[in-house]
Amino acid sequence: MPHRQTPNIDICDQIAHLPLFQALTPSQIAKMAEHTRKRILPKGEVLFHKGDVAQGLFVVVFGQIKLAFPSCNGNEKVVDIVGPRASFGEAVMFIDQPYPVFAQSIVDSLVLHVGKECVFSLLETDLSFARNMLAGLSMRNHALMQDVETYSLHSSTQRVIGYLLQHCPNGSHGRCDGSVSFALPISKQIIASRLNLTPETFSRILNELITARLIRVQGRQITIPDIKRLREHDL
């Protein structure tokens, strides 16, 4: 696994380029780096389990981390997929409660773990950092509310179409017409769980869209011949 061959990563440089920490001074970044540890995760490795105690927050440098609820029957509900330059675990860290979900790498990943004592110290002394932290938590809460709205008010087909349009490259989902091809960033099973669908329902909807000639599918590769037609389907 190539990423496991690159342990000599400059933590200060990584911190300085993350949106959450962009307002920090070089001395603050150096102090934070002293309380930051990097964790290289091969695909499928669990970062923390449900019920573990939070000792700080995590930031993804590269890769993808799945946050999910486990279940006794072996299934899981995917809550979020965290990608590069995004953080997670802040809310649990603040309320001093165990994690309600588990975190697992979907691909080879590198994450930074920032100790909560350092975070709390910065919050007390740096207003810009506090605002960035609040903004990040607010955006996370807004995304959760959007999820509730989507699951409550949108049909299964609308959820799948919305996901496909959202992941069109270069903002293609905002165009009125035209075609586009792209690869799904994660497995279909994880996408189904993220959309609150069973894998069988997700596959059935894809097949219905294929039959209607709204999409073409080859493995993870998706082709949308006419973005406008797909967007207007099942309105």
**Model pLDDT for residues 6-62, shown as the tens digit of each residue:** 457 788 888 887 777 777 888 888 888 889 999 999 999 999 999 999 999 999 989
Task: Give the tokens for residue 16.
Answer: 């300085």
- Please tell me which residue, 113 or 16, carries the higher pLDDT value: 113
Half-sphere exposure of 225 (CA within 13 A, CB side): 8
Pair of tokens at residue 120: 């709390």
User: CB–CB of 62/3 below 8 Å?
Assistant: yes
H helix runs in 49-95, sequence order: 90-95
**pLDDT for 202:** 95
CA 147-189-97 angle, to 5 degrees, is 50
Q: Report d(CA 27, CA 225) in Å as an integer.
A: 52
> What is the Cα–Cα distance from 116 to 211, expressed in whole angstroms?
52
Identify the pLDDT of residue 81: 93
Q: What is the DSSP pairing of strand 76-82 with strand 109-115?
A: unpaired
For residue 105, how many other CB atoms are within 10 A of its CB? 22
Q: Which residue, 108, 59, 54, is CA-closest to 84?
A: 59
Chain Cα centroid distance, residue 120: 24
Residue pLDDT, tens place only, 197-223: 999 999 999 999 999 999 999 999 999
**Residue 232 CB partners (closer than 8 Å, separation 6+):** none
- Dump pLDDT digits (tens) for 131-187: 877 887 787 777 778 777 776 778 999 999 999 998 887 654 455 568 899 999 899
